[in-house]
Amino acid sequence: MCDASINDVLPPPRRKVVLGMCIKCKVTKPSISIRRTLYCKDCFVKASIVKFRAALTKSRKRVELPQTKVLVALSGGAASSAMLKLTTDFINMERKGTDAEPPFTGVVVGHVDESCLFPGSQEDEIRAIAAESGLPYFKVALED
């Protein structure tokens, strides 16, 4: 006969789902639906930050240079400003154990100046955001 038990053949148990509640905390009503998965706002923000940090760390593992910095392209919009904040928070966060060193040595703000095509450039605002963050700022004109 076979030595396999019923637990060896069954798939692993799935995460407990509470209908009408957030998939993570199972307490709060969901407000965000992604690929048929329901999240409350707090759990969605936490899960997004964890995924962003994992992707940033994974990209660093591909580069084996000792003094690697990360370039964040800043347009002045909400998405690029949020990415800059997430990146600087991740680089500056307190670490323990095996993750004692940040994956990158610093952050650099980059901007492509499109004023030759679109008058009313946001360069001053972008330069102010970089200066407020205390980060180096590099601008490249689109016509270059």
What is the pLDDT, as a whole number, of residue 41? Answer: 93
Task: Quote the pTM value.
Answer: 0.69
- Tens of pLDDT, residue by residue, the chain (144 residues): 556 565 555 555 555 666 788 988 888 899 998 888 889 999 999 999 999 888 888 876 656 666 788 889 998 888 998 999 998 888 888 766 666 677 778 889 998 888 777 777 777 888 888 888 889 998 888 877
Residue with tokens 């964890």: 50
What is the pLDDT, as a whole number, of residue 64? Answer: 65
What is the pLDDT, as a whole number, of residue 10? Answer: 58
- For 62, the token pair is 């591909």
SS (H, E, C) the chain: CCCCCHHHHCCCCCCCCCCCCCCCCCCCCCCEEECCEEECHHHHHHHHHHHHHHHHHHHHHHCCCCCCEEEEECCCCHHHHHHHHHHHHHHHCCCCHHHCCCCCCEEEEEEEECCCCCCCCCHHHHHHHHHHHCCCEEEEECCC
Among residues 136, 135, 126, the alpha carbon closest in space to that of 76 is found at 126
What is the pLDDT, as a whole number, of residue 42? Answer: 93
What is the pLDDT, as a whole number, of residue 144? Answer: 73
What is the pLDDT, as a whole number, of residue 62? Answer: 59
